[in-house]
Structure 1
Amino acid sequence: MAENPSRSARLATDPFADTIITIEAAGTASLPRRIGGRAVDRIVQLTQLLADLVHPDHAIDKLAFRKSLERRAANSVKALANDLGCYAAFASNRLGHALPARAHDLVAYLEDCEARGLSPATASRRLASLAAIHALLGASPSTGETMVRDAMIGYRKRIGSAQRQAGPLRYGPGIEAVSELDARRSDEEREAHARRGFTLTTLLAACDGDPPGLRDAALLSLAYDTGLRVSELLRVAVAHTGPNEAGDGSGTLFIPISKTDRTGKGAYAWISPESMRRISDWLEIGGIRGGPMFRRIAVRRAKARPAQRPMPIHAIPYGALVTRERVRGRKAELAKVAYAIGGSALTPAAVRLIIKRTALRAADLGLVELYGAALEEAIAKLSTHSLRVGLTQDLFASGADAGPIAQALRWSSTATALRYGRELAPASNATAQMLRNVRR
């Protein structure tokens, strides 16, 4: 097979199939361009929504408004735009110029949210977004008035305030043995328990040894170890990781910026030896020496072609197409697979697809005992946040307190950690710590 010498390509023969595999290192090949819709400029969207909603007597300083949005995280701006769009749809038929909003307007909006079946958590977030919009406009928000607070309390009482969270991807049977409760189970019982749902161990077992599989395994393993948000995960560069001085194979990840660190002070996270090995395997096979760690991979496949003997002209059937291959014959060709490593980072949608696709493959391989509707529901619950939730629950299960967990996962308070681990947190509270070995 002739190869372009300008490309840093490496050839290997798959020992399990008659297939020629080509790996084109990062930056040496052009990936196919995907045609799709253009990304929405959320700042422009917000500015236009405000122009339609704000009363003419209330002037908008567009420059100050734009600059105040630029300092916010992209996901925060997206949430503001979506929430304000929801309020705009409500106001268009009822209120006209609906900003600044009065308390009566907000109560009517909450009633509309409840009638449409929105959860109290969603309605509460939209109230918070409206309060933020008022602050950006320099107007006093009505969200804190007694009437609005009472309406929100009633909303929660009628519907319930438990929030839906991403399906957790916990480590698996190995980590469960850390807690005394699970340590009393036999190995067979722990394995059977783990097979009832998806775990990190299950997904890693479903990753192939080809470039996409090595990338996915490194991504999943690092995301679990560090509890990274998807925005933080996609910003990981090769230069951000390095070995620890302890020499035990573990490493350290530098996180230059995060949701709770918009000024870029930076933070550090520990990486397990297993994750360091997986990262090394991925970087080596992808020829990645710098830049984004997790990148898109284009896969090109060609089927095997059998040999074809030359055929004299007079032997070709009348009306059949006369080709060079028919006349001169053709050598047999092996199946070919070419992997081209891109230069830019993955997108959040790509990470979500990797998680769900790997989970489905794990089910196809029989690594989990989930079928039919139960399987579909389990995969639907998985998201880019699942590994962060799973790590939080494993930390609670191992006896860690909410404070150190919040610090390790870079939360500004313990409230979110407690929400993610609300079913496991009681096992690590003060009562459990004192009475665990006393009241058996």
Structure 2
Amino acid sequence: MKRKLVLASPTSLSDRTPVPEGEVVTVLGPSEARLPKRRARPGLTTVERFVAVLSSLVDGDTAVAKVNFTKALEARSPATLRAMTCDLEGYTLFASEQAGAGLPASAERIAEWIDHLEASNQKPATIARKLATLATVHGLLGIPSAVSSSLVRDAMKGLRRRQGKAQRQAAGLRLGEAIGNAPVKGFTLAALMEACGTDLPGLRDAALLSLGYDAGLRVSEILEARVEALEVQDDGSGLLDIDRSKTDQEGQGASVWVSPETVRRIALWREAAAIRTGPLYRRVGVIRTKGHPGRRALAIADLAYNAGVDRERMAAIPARQASVTYVVGDTALTVAAVRSIIRKRALAAADMGLVDLMGEDLEIALGGLSTHSLRVGLTQDLFASGEDAGPIAQALRWSSVGTALRYGRRLAPASNAAARLLAGRRV
């Protein structure tokens, strides 16, 4: 039986070879290796959650028509269904404290729910969305909805009068250069991209941020971007085809312009990750191995007098260089992954001193970032450059000019007709 190997004295430094400098980098492209496993998250799918919560709200005599439910799922995007499920789960908690079944909901109960949501510091826009979910669910059940009743309308009018209509929006990730008369403050696209670095995840993140800003993409459009959808033009710019979006659920499609810089960044990421077809932005698994110095083979004289002889443990140990292996996945990133990328690169930019934010100001700025920040940032830069709301809404594929005005409300006045007329006269 082998005993523990005990040295008579520590091995001297001269008996060791140093750790080789540098790091061995290996990239395994799509389908060349499996991504490192993540801990499974048990739970129901969104559809299963929706069915479960809807079933808990109705009594035994009320049933959802299968055709209604099937068509409702087909008509809504996965993101919309997730939002509806969350809204309905919140209503379920409220209804559980009330007498009787949760659905159908009377006008009085809905008004009480509005008061409950306001007491929870929820904004009018959020509450309006939850009422729309409740109205949709009544339609699934084939029963009239009291959401449009005069009592509910009056309750919402009172809420908006008390709180105002303005809603909190994502902080914009603007380009980083002074455009027009509007100085750029806080986190910028340039700062986040500089913080990405040059390793494989950094190349991916920089390409993702750059495309998201250029085209004003929603997060769903970023995730659905594919190699085949990007056509490089003669001048180095690109055209990206968007098959479907939030305001184009029927898939009529649109094309958006992409700058030459973004085309180059995408090409660098694709070449490094060996991506030829399919989703542009994918998960990258990282496997790191620490380096260690080598050691010569031990002789009997190196052992303690009472040590057993273990030839395997006495054998020479070669020096090992540190290494990192990147494994590129086959499928697109998730919404949570994009959110994590934006926050991670923002924190890195702050650590590198690329933004003038500290303490509470830094926490507030981080809290304002979201997957929508790239789209908001482009909108604000367009307003700052003097563009009107109509062309901006068209460029960013909004169905309403009012949406563009809401996102650029702080910058739109500087480019309106009065500002253009008086800028050179009232100095």
TM-score normalised to the size of structure 1?
A: 0.88
Q: Indicate if the aligned counterparts of 1:110 and 1:151 stay in contact, CA closer than 8 A.
A: yes
Classify the secondary structure of the residue corresponding to 2:275: coil
Identity of aligned residues (%): 50
Q: Indicate if the aligned counterparts of 1:47 and 1:62 stay in contact, CA closer than 8 A.
A: no
CA displacement, residues 182-217 of structure 1 (integer Å, 9 cap, x when unaligned): 5xxxxxxxxxx64x5110000111111111110000
Classify the secondary structure of the residue corresponding to 1:298: strand
The equivalent residue for 1:144 is 148
**For the pair shown, which has the larger CA radius of gyration, 1 or 2?**
2
> Distance between the aligned counterparts of 1:321 and 1:339, measured in 2?
42
The equivalent residue for 1:10 is none
Letter of the 1:363 partner, please give it: A
Matches of residues 18-417 of structure 1 in structure 2 within 5 Å? 18-38=22-42, 40-56=44-60, 58-173=62-177, 176-177=178-179, 179=180, 181=181, 194=184, 196-244=185-233, 247-317=234-304, 326-417=313-404
> Distance between the aligned counterparts of 1:388 and 1:290, measured in 2?
26
> Distance between the aligned counterparts of 1:434 and 1:54, measured in 2?
60
Letter of the 1:374 partner, please give it: D
Which stretch shifts more, 132-141 or 277-286? 132-141
Query: Is the alpha carbon distance of 1:152 and 1:300 closer, same or farther for their aligned partners in structure 2, counting shifts above 3 Å?
Result: same
Query: Is the alpha carbon distance of 1:260 and 1:304 closer, same or farther for their aligned partners in structure 2, counting shifts above 3 Å?
Result: same
Cα drift, residue 143 of structure 1: 1.6
Cα drift, residue 387 of structure 1: 0.6
> Distance between the aligned counterparts of 2:235 and 2:160, measured in 1?
50
Letter of the 1:197 partner, please give it: G
Cα drift, residue 356 of structure 1: 0.5
> Distance between the aligned counterparts of 1:301 and 1:237, measured in 2?
29
Letter of the 2:209 partner, please give it: L
RMSD, aligned α-carbons? 2.0
Listed as ranges, the gaps of 5+ residues in structure 2 are 1-19
> Distance between the aligned counterparts of 1:111 and 1:379, measured in 2?
30
Cα drift, residue 138 of structure 1: 2.9
Letter of the 2:382 partner, please give it: L
Q: Indicate if the aligned counterparts of 1:55 and 1:100 stay in contact, CA closer than 8 A.
A: no
Letter of the 1:117 partner, please give it: N
TM-score normalised to the size of structure 2?
A: 0.90
Cα drift, residue 289 of structure 1: 0.4
Q: Indicate if the aligned counterparts of 2:215 and 2:257 stay in contact, CA closer than 8 A.
A: yes
Query: Is the alpha carbon distance of 1:324 and 1:139 closer, same or farther for their aligned partners in structure 2, counting shifts above 3 Å?
Result: farther
> Distance between the aligned counterparts of 2:188 and 2:157, measured in 1?
37
Classify the secondary structure of the residue corresponding to 2:296: coil
The equivalent residue for 2:13 is none
Query: Is the alpha carbon distance of 1:409 and 1:309 closer, same or farther for their aligned partners in structure 2, counting shifts above 3 Å?
Result: same
Query: Is the alpha carbon distance of 1:140 and 1:363 closer, same or farther for their aligned partners in structure 2, counting shifts above 3 Å?
Result: same
Listed as ranges, the gaps of 5+ residues in structure 1 are 1-15, 183-192
Q: Indicate if the aligned counterparts of 1:232 and 1:255 stay in contact, CA closer than 8 A.
A: yes
> Distance between the aligned counterparts of 1:148 and 1:381, measured in 2?
31
Which stretch shifts more, 211-220 or 332-341? 332-341
Cα drift, residue 326 of structure 1: 4.7
CA displacement, residues 332-362 of structure 1 (integer Å, 9 cap, x when unaligned): 2211111111111111111111111111111
Letter of the 1:359 partner, please give it: A
> Distance between the aligned counterparts of 1:74 and 1:172, measured in 2?
33
Q: Indicate if the aligned counterparts of 2:64 and 2:140 stay in contact, CA closer than 8 A.
A: no
Letter of the 1:52 partner, please give it: S
> Distance between the aligned counterparts of 1:82 and 1:399, measured in 2?
39
Q: Indicate if the aligned counterparts of 2:21 and 2:321 stay in contact, CA closer than 8 A.
A: no
CA displacement, residues 299-326 of structure 1 (integer Å, 9 cap, x when unaligned): 1111121121111133223576866565
The number of aligned residues is 408
